[in-house]
Amino acid sequence: MNKINRMRRSFFILFIVSCMTVVGQNPIISNQFTADPTARVFEGKVYLYPSHDIPSPIDRLKEWFCMEDYHVFSSEDLVNWQDHGVIVSQENVPWVAPESYSMWAPDCVYYNGKYYFYFPSAPGGEQRRGFAIGVATSDKPYGPFTPEANPMEGVTGIDPCVLIDDDGQAYIYWSGRGMSVAKLKKNLLEIEDEPQQIEGLPEGFKEGPFVFKRNGIYYYTFPWVRDKTEVLAYATGDNPKGPFTFQGVIMDESPVECWTNHHSIMEYNGQWYLFYHHNDYSPSFDKNRSARIDSIFFNPDGTIQKVIPTLRGVGITSATAKPVQFDRYSAISSSGVAIDFVNNDNLFEGWKLIFNEKNSWARYNRVDFGNGNAKKAKIRVFSKAGGNVSLSSILPDSKTIAMFNVSEKNDWQEISVTLNNKLEGIHDLQLTLLSEGELQVDWISFE
Ligand code: FUB
């Protein structure tokens, strides 16, 4: 396929996927892999610029990172995400080596009426060595973006991050051959001074810098191999170029040993959030990763409280818009609950809860019943032995709202019951198995 046809195909794919809405707790995007999530607030919405991991179509990258393009997503509630489709692809950047599949971690900033999308990739032709960083510009946060013909001069590496300071001066940070910073010229396309190394960071492999300013403090945050896999760590300083003082770890190693982590931190509607990735939809191959969000909190002295990854994630789930996925629980009983994929042939179909002990339970917090229009609850359930499950509201007050009597069946079944109580506003819910034997739950919906 020649370059023109490849570009046509990209725009056709862009047309098909734009306007698709993807809903998620953690991981937040369920229609594709999304790594290295950089989140920015533009025009009152959150825009997410992740890398786009794919299973490699070429042998050379079968066991490595493989990315050919970038999508952008937006959300107003951090729950419902609109996929705006492909904004930059290796096929429409003149300097990127064909079939290099190296569109690694990006960033995007707004400056003087334009959006600047920074991305690393493998240069082709004469320049072909290591990684370079390119820029694409747009009038809108969701594109279309026009890539510059050449990568930035004097910037060799990966994981660009741009900070625009309060005085309007922009700085670019990147990794590869150490952790570097340089001032950007007013055009945001070129560096203004010699890159310098960041001082004050701990020994050990580091990458993925993300720098932000809060209450006059510059936070230099980064993935760091403290032991075997990456943790997220941070240092602080009073100058955008450092030196910085190492402060500690924001997030420990992934419990499922995803070797990389990569993050961004931003404030939206008065709450700070950490965007990061694990390999939820690809448990046996950690180069196919998925973006997650959890809330992050600062102490009065500006230090950061450690973030424990959750499945429930952030935001309020509408009771009636989509089924509620209790497998993305807020809490579970200390025994008798397991989680597994619904369909091992398509992991993007998500997970199910498996209750296997009487009185085992799972909680799912912050479900919004609005004005109380929901009259019925439906459960998708699998139980060869049959059994009974109760659904309760445990906050703001404690009451049973539905009982499901599940008959024996060697297949999934959906059971609909009338709610015992009218529910209004936001509730924390609990599902409890009241019988012996195994019972699996895919979801609960309300109408
Ligand atoms: O996504 C490819 C690379 O993995 C990123 O550039 C690194 O930060 C790591 O997340």
Taking the CA of residue 53 as reference, the ligand 1 atom at the shortest distance is 1
Nearest-angstrom CA–CA distance, 364 and 328 = 7
Ligand 1 probe mutation, 34, 36, 38, most atoms within 8 A of CB: 36
pLDDT, tens only, 178-211: 999 999 999 999 999 999 999 999 999 999 999 9
Taking the CA of residue 51 as reference, the ligand 1 atom at the shortest distance is 1
Active site residue 207: yes
Q: Which of 36, 68, 286, 294 is catalytic?
A: 36
Q: Are 377 and 393 in contact (CB under 8 A)?
A: no
pLDDT at 349 over 60: yes
Active site residue 36: yes
Cis amide bond preceding 50, omega within 30: no
With residue 122 as reference, give the H or E element that holds it.
none
Q: Are 64 and 56 in contact (CB under 8 A)?
A: yes
- Total residues belonging to the chain: 447
Which one, of 142, 138, 178, 141, lies nearest residue 158 by Cα? 178
Ligand 1 probe mutation, 33, 49, 207, most atoms within 8 A of CB: 207
Q: Which of 69, 207, 286, 327 is catalytic?
A: 207
- Specify the higher pLDDT residue, 7 or 138: 138
Query: pLDDT at position 129, please?
Result: 78
**What domains can be seen in the chain, in order of their start residue?**
3-296 (2.115.10.20), 317-446 (2.60.120.260)
pLDDT, tens only, 354-413: 999 999 999 999 999 999 999 999 999 999 999 999 999 999 999 999 999 999 999 999
pLDDT, tens only, 264-317: 999 999 999 999 999 999 999 999 999 999 999 999 999 999 999 999 999 999
Per-residue burial over 66-104, b = 16 or more CB atoms within 10 Å of its CB, e = otherwise? bbbbbbbbbbeebbbbbbbbbbbbbbbbebbbeebbbbb
Helix, strand, coil in percent for the chain, rounding step 5: 5, 45, 45
Nearest-angstrom CA–CA distance, 366 and 351 = 19
Taking the CA of residue 207 as reference, the ligand 1 atom at the shortest distance is 8
> 348: alpha, beta or left, given left = phi > 0 and alpha = psi -120 to 50?
alpha
pLDDT, tens only, 6-45: 433 443 333 333 444 455 599 999 999 999 999 999 999 9
What is the residue with the minimal CA distance to atom 2 of ligand 1?
104
Query: pLDDT at position 7, please?
Result: 39
Query: For all residues of the chain together, what is the average pLDDT?
Result: 94
Count, in order, helices (H) and strands (E) of the chain.
1, 31
pLDDT at 5 over 90: no
Protein residues whose CB sits closer than 6 Å to any atom of ligand 1:
35-36, 51, 65, 104-105, 158-159, 207-208, 260, 262
